Amino acid sequence: MILSISWKNIWRNKVRSLVVIVASTLGIISGVMVVGIMEGWVEQRLHDAIYNEVSHIQIHNSDYLKNEEINLTVQDTALVAEAVKQLPGLKGWVARTKMVVMANTPWANTGIFIYGIDPEREKQVSEIYKKIIPGAGNYLDKDKPGTILISDKTAEILKLKQYCLTDTVIGKLERGEFPKSVLSKLAGIKDERFRSPKDFRAILKSLLTGKELDNYGRQLMDSSLEYKIRNKIQITLSDEQGTPVQGTFRVCGIYRTTNTGFDQVTAFVNAGELAALYDGKSILIHEIAIMIEDIENAGSAKEKLSGISRHNTVSTWKELAPDAAMMNDFMIIYYFIFIGIVMFALAFGIINTMMMTILERTRELGMLMAIGMNRRRIFSMIMLETIFLTVVGAAAGMVGGWVIVMSLGKTGIHFLSWGEGFEAIGFAATVYPVITPFFFIIITIMVISTAIISSVWPARKALKLDPAEAIRTE
Amino acid sequence: MKVLELKKVNKIYDGSEVPVHAVNDVSLDFDEAEFVAIVGPSGSGKTTLLNLIGGLDMPSSGEIIIDGTNLSKLKSSQLIDFRMRNIGFVFQAYNLIPVLTAKENVEFIMSLQKWPRKERDERTLELLNAVGLGDRINSRPSKLSGGQQQRVAVARALASRPKFVLADEPTANLDSKSATTLLGIMETLNHGEKITFIFSTHDPRVVKMAHRVITLEDGRVISDDVRE
């Protein structure tokens, strides 16, 4: 009966209750959305850090971590390889050569890490092969010697990327119903080559209005972009004796991850071809990367591998990508902080509404006390009303938030204007929000706690009523 | 059989500068199935006396004994429970629970007392039929007239078979016809249920129907007339 009265009571003043319910709904929707976006970013960063950059576990020569010299290779590789193969839940592992080199083109040069890899085997631990930009070549192929896989950022630095409004590009844009008025403004830069996005963006800015730039700038940049695939890059490195040696590789493809910091210093070649450069005999192993089935077992796998050679250092993804690890661990605290703020604000609305309710129902509460409704039942009734009021809005908010997050999880939210900034710190410009059942459990607990805490003050006010006086209230 | 006994009951309100002696040395006995009107001018202490009898207020001195239980000896929580089991209330302004139907209002006390569903339903229908509202059991108070609401309130007061019913000016808000109907119903139930009714009133119709009339003035009982 108390349950039924409480439920009916919240609908006595529909408008007032709906205001609180809508406020709860919007608060929870915004909470779910913001947390969903954060979670999406963290999940993306974590996934990309592991699958593009560091894997679950890496083994290096301890001294190599301090000073990346060619001679500081992983020690006792046979024993290490045997131990790696024995790891429970092993998904794959690779041995890589990793060297600091200077990369040159006729137009520019830059220092990068070059990885000597077995391209096919590398797919066990890295998803770089999935990151090739469409129309920008292919992944490394063992059967195509003398090739190098570089990133979009490296191509930009080495001026292997250019922007040019050719007839073909203009024709394609026209067929796509691109405004002719905008194209006519660009007639003056037709066939002109721009070797950096900055220069091309600057010229577009000078020719177009701000609105045109906002609406069509990205499309123009994407359409005009050309990569100089098959161009040569000269690599200079020091061999085991410290003698500078050089080799030339043709660009086979260009990849792009969500982390330009990683991209701009990372290129890949066939390990054998790199070995041919520094001594021509054996492949040096500077890094062993391991992927296991369950990320949670990385710590125990590290323990198993750590004792093999005292000269090696075994690191888990948490040590190799501390930013991603920190964000992953911080998310739970973030949930509590953000939802806590939403709940704190909501609590004031709930308390206000319930206090008004108590004030309006003084006579009724007096009557209930007079006819025998005890304090516990009065308290329960007020508390249940508060819980219903809050939970109805929260439930609607959770369902609404979940639907929005699920649909945005498919389409993604595009932050293209800030894409460069996001990618500089390892976050994708398009985020796919995700939400976990655990988050909804946290919200439910916090909503009910908020409702209970918010009900205490109004309920205490009700309990302080003198029934004899309350009954006479007009 | 004596259901209620007041022994030298006093109630003094000393919140203001001059203490107010609202009930002054009142001693009264009430038997089973009495139909009693407490009358007196405004400020004579009728409502205070009813509040004391109903355990809504505590006497400054004296004893109120209901069916052998001294109300002053009960703790606050025990008093609420005692009220629920032994006293029915009818208020001037009906005071039904607006979100509940007539049936739900009547069975409310029984549900607090955890009566079995079947007995609760039977008792509710019996009472609503007795007050002439058998066809309005699913109506909410807002859909009932004042007289009908007060009849529901009477049915609610009697629902859990209390020792007595206290009614504070039950006809004050009713028109003449509704008041007469209500009084007829109350008298019938008083006979049928053998439950004592004690009501404060200014209404001469109520006084006329009462079997016993207690007159208060300045908190004192100045007459206690039993009619044959």
Q: What is the rounded distance in angstroms from the CA atom of residue A171 to the CA atom of residue A165?
A: 10
- What's the gap between Cα B176 and its chain centre? 20
Residues within 8 A of A (CB atoms), B 32-71 only:
51, 54, 56-57
Q: Of the candidates B81, B95, B100, which has its C-beta nearest A372's C-beta?
A: B81
- Rounded to a whole number of angstroms, the distance from the CA of A399 to the nearest CA of chain B is 29
Q: What is the mean pLDDT of residues A346-368?
A: 89
CB A371 to CB B111 under 8 A? no
CB A1 to CB B57 under 8 A? no
Q: What is the mean pLDDT of residues A120-136?
A: 93
Whether B80 and chain A come into contact, CB under 8 Å, resolves to: yes
pLDDT of residue A242: 82
- Rounded to a whole number of angstroms, the distance from the CA of A377 to the nearest CA of chain B is 9
CB B95 to CB A375 under 8 A? no
State ipTM: 0.87
Q: Of the candidates B54, B76, B99, which has its C-beta nearest A12's C-beta?
A: B99
> Percentage helix, strand, coil, to 5, in chain A?
55, 20, 25
Per DSSP, the three-state class of B165 is: strand
Report yes or no: B83 and B162 within 8 Å, Cβ to Cβ.
no
pLDDT of residue A320: 92
pLDDT of residue A257: 92
Q: Of the candidates A9, A375, A468, which has its C-beta nearest B51's C-beta?
A: A468
Q: What is the mean pLDDT of residues A3-7?
A: 88
The CB density around residue A296, as the number of other CB atoms within 10 Å, is 8
Per DSSP, the three-state class of A232 is: strand
**Phi/psi at A299 (5° precision):** -65, -45
Q: What is the rounded distance in angstroms from the CA atom of residue A347 to the CA atom of residue B117?
A: 38
CB B77 to CB A468 under 8 A? no
pLDDT at A265 over 90: yes
CA angle in degrees (0–180, nearest 5) for A404-A406-A410: 110
CB A8 to CB B99 under 8 A? yes
pLDDT of residue A290: 96
Q: Of the candidates A1, A364, A468, which has its C-beta nearest B108's C-beta?
A: A1
pLDDT at B2 over 90: no
Whether B115 and chain A come into contact, CB under 8 Å, resolves to: no
Chain B residues closer than 8 Å to A12 by CB: 98-99
Nearest Cα neighbor of A10 from A458, A460, A443, A366 is: A458
pLDDT in tens, A390-410: 889 989 999 999 999 999 989
- Rounded to a whole number of angstroms, the distance from the CA of B193 to the nearest CA of chain A is 19
How would residue A255 be classed by pLDDT, with cut points 50, 70 and 90? very high
Chain A residues closer than 8 Å to B98 by CB: 12, 364
pLDDT of residue A443: 86
Whether B106 and chain A come into contact, CB under 8 Å, resolves to: no
Q: What is the mean pLDDT of residues A233-261?
A: 91
Looking at residue B68, its amino acid is G
Mean residue pLDDT across chain A: 89
- HSE at residue A229, side-chain half, CA atoms within 13 A, is 16
pLDDT of residue B50: 92
What domains, with CATH codes, occur in chain B? Answer: 2-95+163-226 (3.40.50.300)
Q: Which long-range contacts (CB under 8 A, 24 or more apart) does A435-439 make?
A: A435/A32, A435/A35, A435/A36, A435/A39, A435/A401, A435/A402, A435/A405, A436/A39, A439/A32, A439/A35, A439/A39, A439/A335
pLDDT in tens, B29-47: 999 889 999 999 988 999 9
Q: What is the mean pLDDT of residues A135-163?
A: 91
pLDDT in tens, B94-115: 889 999 999 999 999 899 889 9
How would residue B189 be classed by pLDDT, with cut points 50, 70 and 90? confident
- Rounded to a whole number of angstroms, the distance from the CA of A390 to the nearest CA of chain B is 20
pLDDT at A197 over 90: no
Chain A residues closer than 8 Å to B81 by CB: 372, 374
- Rounded to a whole number of angstroms, the distance from the CA of A422 to the nearest CA of chain B is 55
Looking at residue A355, its amino acid is M
pLDDT at A474 over 80: no
Work out how many CB contacts closer than 8 A connect A with B: 60
Chain A residues closer than 8 Å to B156 by CB: 371
CB A12 to CB B91 under 8 A? no
- Determine which of A4, A367, A369, A371 to mutate to test the interface with B (most B C-beta atoms within 10 Å): A371
pLDDT at B16 over 80: no
- Rounded to a whole number of angstroms, the distance from the CA of A472 to the nearest CA of chain B is 9
In B, minimum Cα distance to A11 occurs at B99
Tell me the C-alpha to C-alpha distance, in Å, between residue A178 and each of A166, A445, B88, B207. 15, 52, 83, 95
How would residue A101 be classed by pLDDT, with cut points 50, 70 and 90? very high
How would residue A231 be classed by pLDDT, with cut points 50, 70 and 90? confident
